[in-house]
Amino acid sequence: MPGKFAPLAALAAGGLFLSKQANRAKARLPHVEFTSPGPGPTVSVRKSLVLRPPASGRSLAALAAVAVGGYLAYSQLKKSRGLGRTSSVQETIELNVPLSTAYNQWTQFEEFPKFMDSVQQVKQIDDTHLHWRALVAGKPKEWDSEITEQVPDHRIAWRSIGGVQNSGAVTFQRVGVNRTRVNLQIDYDPETISEKIGDAVGAVKLTAKGNLKRFKELVEAHGAETGAWRGTVAPH
């Protein structure tokens, strides 16, 4: 349960960091003292001069502060728990199609770019090996993966065997006559600073959620799978 609140804690830390920086800047702002003209008692007025950068600059500064603050807080949280580098996300969605239709469509790996936002190409080498080309934190990367388990209408698991380190599984569960629950879990190792910042602010989780939403739209729009592979791969 605590892991679910890590991104929120990270954003809160980023916001606190930004607030402290703003207060420090405010404390250094110049002041001007002047005397009012005209008859009558002399009046001394103190007026603050507020110097503001362009709106776009303030927005970028705020985003940068939240991202960096979130990354630092999240890194400290993982260290304090004794956790390794691996991060994990899990998303679930329900489709208004039969179980076999949802499963069969997912086995069409080369069609993943149709609903996976950052995936540019998936090439199936053989029954258990795939080659991927995708954008990771905005940069193009390629890697190979291996299907480590496949049970028709139930589960597909994989792990990378080079390049971007990731693994995971997708499971399928019938929840009605024409309704299927799909659960996606991804474990990954953020490498670059941009990947770690993205991890801290929940970018991978948002991507996974969006991918499942588009998969649902794709399958329900067709009403049937575009192909199927019903083979079994023993766990290894």
Residue 235 located in a structural domain: no
2 has pLDDT over 70: no
Angle at which helix 6-27 crosses helix 55-80, to 10 degrees, equals 130
Q: 38, 64, 80 — which closes off a domain?
A: 80
154 has pLDDT over 50: yes
Residues 131, 70: one domain?
Answer: no
**In this predicted model, which residue has the larger pLDDT, 140 or 62?**
140
User: What average pLDDT score do residues 133-160 get?
Assistant: 96
pLDDT of residue 191: 84
Residue 232 located in a structural domain: no
Residues 106, 190: one domain?
Answer: yes
Residue 231 located in a structural domain: no
| Geometric angle at alpha carbon 61, from 200 and 19, rounded to 5° | 80
Integer CA distances (angstroms), 163 to 6, 41, 51, 145, 195, in order? 27, 78, 48, 9, 14
pLDDT of residue 41: 40
pLDDT in tens, 9-64: 444 445 444 445 545 544 444 444 433 444 444 334 344 434 444 455 555 555 55
Residue 23 located in a structural domain: yes
**In this predicted model, which residue has the larger pLDDT, 183 or 18?**
183
pLDDT of residue 121: 98
Residues 6, 117: one domain?
Answer: no
| pTM summary value | 0.68
Query: What proportion of the chain, given as a percentage, has pLDDT over 70?
Result: 64
Residues 37, 107: one domain?
Answer: no
Residue 46 located in a structural domain: yes
pLDDT of residue 86: 86
Residues 111, 205: one domain?
Answer: yes
Residues 168, 218: one domain?
Answer: yes
**In this predicted model, which residue has the larger pLDDT, 75 or 228?**
228
Residues 103, 213: one domain?
Answer: yes
How is residue 17 written in tokens? 């960091």
Number of folded domains that form the chain: 2
Tell me the pLDDT of the chain averaged across its residues: 78
Q: 80, 111, 128 — which closes off a domain?
A: 80
pLDDT in tens, 198-208: 887 789 999 99
> What residues form DSSP beta bridges with 146?
129, 159
CATH number where 129 lies: 3.30.530.20
pLDDT in tens, 101-139: 999 999 999 999 999 999 999 999 999 999 999 999 889
Q: 41, 58, 80 — which closes off a domain?
A: 80
Residues 125, 57: one domain?
Answer: no
Residues 104, 74: one domain?
Answer: no
Residue 170: closest CA among 178, 180, 187, 182: 182
pLDDT of residue 84: 53
Q: Which domain holds residue 174?
A: 87-222
